Structure 1
Amino acid sequence: MRMVFRWFGEGNDTVSLDQIRQIPGVEGIVWALHDVPVGEEWPMERIQEIRKQADVYGLHLDVVESVNVHEDIKLGLPSRDHYIANYIRTIEKLAEVGVKVICYNFMPVFDWVRTDLHRASGDGSTALFFEKARIDGIDPMELVRSIHDNSALTMPGWEPERLNHLSSLFEAYRNVTEEDLWNNLEYFLSAVIPAAEQCGIRMAIHPDDPPWPIFGLPRIITSQDHIRRFLNLYNSPSNSITLCSGSLGANPDNDIIAMIHEFHLRIPFTHIRNVRVFDNGDFIETSHRTQDGSVDIAGIVKAYNDNGFNGYCRPDHGRHIWGEECRPGYGLYDRALGIMYLWGVWDAAQRAKTENQKEASAV
């Protein structure tokens, strides 16, 4: 398991590269050019700029999250070929600086949805929260205003160029079915995966967050069956998944450990975090500790260890603790604590495996 840490760039993140390099076992950053509008080709000079910044602190750039997919591609519009061509040129440039994995998603309009960015817990911490009943009756524009009013920093997945045209986007998706979205995803894969193969890059789709339709928009990367269907759309190691325990774990029916055992050869990148799911469908993000949420984080880490996982891992979201003022979900303290918990479970699983191997060889 290779530990990495998401970083949003100088001037756009409260966590510094110097702080990141001090977290035990962290070897690289998960990055992107968040100010480049979705669909545009990434400028090489900007990519090189990030590489130089990371090199100063001995951190690699192996994982990019995200090269976002333009809505015209998801909608299957004639203009999609233009944006796919830009996407492929960006893949080629990222390969030049050593990128190995590109995380992306295929969620219409919204990359992720929460109703409260700072829901208070009994211990004084706050965390991202999803209230199902509120989503069922909310005007999406009200949610957009709430997100932006409660964050001083840009929020990935909520880019202004997308949200400024929210009404027209909803109209464009009015007649788009789940099968339409599958077909448009297959078209995208048929174009970009051969390019990724040539560049030695693995494209790793992120599950939908939360893993069910919202606001009448279809969502398709939501379950083990759907992940299996996705991987069969283009059978190549370059067509892979970013397995996110928090996104998938919001649905208690998802067996994430079973997914790891089935798909581990197609998981180059994993997000590990915990959520507590309530009976009414609400959920809140918790510490990474298994006992604090509804997701068996210890079992997930053990499953990766059992399968010899050597891909990239990040702790994903964290709570806001100890008075830290940070991007919602992306502070330093709780994510660093999460990393140490993940390493502890990993080391314990590795030691148990080694001891079992010694005992077996001695028989």
Structure 2
Amino acid sequence: MEMSFRWYGHEDPVTLEHIRQIPDMKGIVSAIYDIPAGEVWPVEKIKELKQMIEKYELKLNVIESVPVHEDIKLGLDSRDKWIDNYKQTLRNLAEAGIHTVCYNFMPVFDWTRSQLDATLPDGSNSLLYDEAKVKDLDPLSGELALPGWDLSYQTDDLRRIIDQYQSISEQQLMDNLVYFLEQVIPVAEEEDVLLAIHPDDPPWPIFGLPRVVTNKENVQYMLDKVDSKHNGITFCTGSYGANPANDLLEIIEAAKGRIHFVHARNVKWIGELSFQETSHSVNDGSIDMVAVLKKLREIGFAGPIRPDHGRMIWGEVGRPGYGLYDRALGATYLNGILDTLARG
């Protein structure tokens, strides 16, 4: 597997210079963050990002992510225009030599937590999801703004979009995802781009919005409906693993040959539909990271993997979940497991 690291560009307090010092670090996972969702990514900007990373003897191996416009998710008449733009961005990425794209189909909001700095027993802090608190939050109030959320919407626009989703069932959202895939996968095949959908995080509905990439059954349905190697998943241990009902090893088996990217993150279940992120260690969280990596190796996965999220430790201050120190420890921990498995 190819150890990789998420990097948010020039604004990221974690630098490429520091990332390259992590043992066995090979790849950078990044994106172009100043282009509105749905607009075409220019080839020149992609190449500029790629060249910047290569100066540090790393490679841009995954784009995370190319956002899907809300009109596509909603299945509006305007969706084909935005899908055409998405196709062109895939072509431009391929021209620049990028062939793995992570994306998600979560309505309106990306990953959601109720607290960004919840204290752990060792004195570090991490991201926490408390279902009861989230139920009391009003996403229109502006009281919760998380890394990864599109904050470009005005309140009125956000209210309108959320209202539109009230008439969209989970099956309709899944149908809209399948429609999107039926349109873009032929281009992905032509350009040899692997599309890897990220699961919903958390993997259940929030704020009254439907979510459909949540479990083995939904993954299998999506993969079967558009049966192409280029239609695959990002296997995120922390997202699928947030729900104790999900068997991670069964999901890996169901998606065998269609896993194109892995997020390795541990979470500890702290109540019904509630969890806190921990170190990557099997001793700290509820996910058996050793068993997960062993299963991934058994099915032949050899693609990019990254430590996903991390605690804030040793007084580090920065983007919640995306500090340097604990993610570096996580990468080293994961490499230790992989080295041991490789020796039999």
Partner of 1:147: 145
The one-letter code of the counterpart of 2:7 is W
1:141-220 matches, cutoff 5 A: 141-142=140-141, 144-147=142-145, 155-161=147-153, 165-220=157-212
Which whole-Å CA distance do the structure 2 matches of 1:221 and 1:298 have between them? Answer: 24
Match of 2:228 in 1: 236
Report the Cα offset of residue 164 of structure 1: 6.6
- Structure whose residues are more often helix by fraction: 1
Cα gap change, 1:62 to 1:47, in 2 (>3 Å): same
Q: 1:54 to 1:187 in 2, by over 3 A?
A: same
State the 1:163 CA deviation.
6.4
Looking at structure 2, the residues matched to 119 and 236 of structure 1 have their Cα atoms a distance apart, in angstroms, of 41
Residue type at the aligned position of 1:201: V
Structure 1 Cα separation of the partners of residues 328 and 119 of structure 2 = 20
Shift of 1:108: 0.5
Which residues in structure 2 correspond to 1:1-363 (within 5 Å)?
Answer: 1-10=1-10, 12-142=11-141, 144-147=142-145, 155-161=147-153, 165-352=157-344
Letter of the structure 2 residue corresponding to residue 176 of structure 1: I
Residues 45-97 of structure 1, C-alpha deviations (whole Å, 9 max, x = no match) = 21121012112111111210000000000001111111111111100000011
Kept in 2, the 8 Å contact 1:117–1:147? The answer is: no
Secondary structure at 1:145's aligned position in 2? Answer: coil
Q: Please state whether the residue corresponding to 2:36 is helix, strand or coil.
A: coil
Give the distance between the partners of 2:217 and 2:299, measured in 1 at CA: 20
Q: TM-score, with normalisation over the residues of structure 1? A: 0.92
Gap change, CA 1:212 and 1:162, over 3 Å in 2: farther
Aligned mates of 1:186, 1:98 — CA distance in 2: 26
Aligned with 2:51: secondary structure?
A: helix
Change (3 A) 1:18 1:48: same
Aligned counterparts of 1:310 and 1:163: Cα–Cα separation in 2: 43
CA distance in 2 between partners of 1:218 and 1:138 (Å): 17
CA contact (8 A) 1:276 1:286 kept: yes
Q: Given residue 135 of structure 1, which amino acid in structure 2 is its aligned partner?
A: V
Stretches of 4+ moved more than 4 A in 1? Answer: none
Partner secondary structure for residue 136 of structure 1: helix
In the alignment, the residues of structure 1 paired with residue 155 and residue 104 of structure 2 have an alpha-carbon distance, to the nearest angstrom, of: 17
Deviation at residue 273 of structure 1 after TM alignment: 0.5
2:43, 2:95 within 8 Å by CA — same for their partners in 1? Answer: no
- What letter corresponds to residue 81 of structure 2 in structure 1? H
Q: CA deviation at 1:157?
A: 2.9
Q: Distance in 1 between matches of 2:162 and 2:251?
A: 32
Supply the AA of the counterpart residue of 2:238: G
C-alpha displacement of 1:162: 7.2
- Structure 1: give runs of 5+ residues left out of the alignment: 149-154, 353-363
Q: Percent identity?
A: 48
- Residues in 2 aligned to 1:254 and 1:162: alpha-carbon distance in whole angstroms: 36
TM-align CA RMSD = 1.3
What amino acid sits opposite 1:131 in the alignment? Answer: D
Q: Shift in Å at residue 174 of structure 1?
A: 1.4
| Equivalent-residue separation in structure 1 for 2:256 and 2:24 (angstroms) | 22
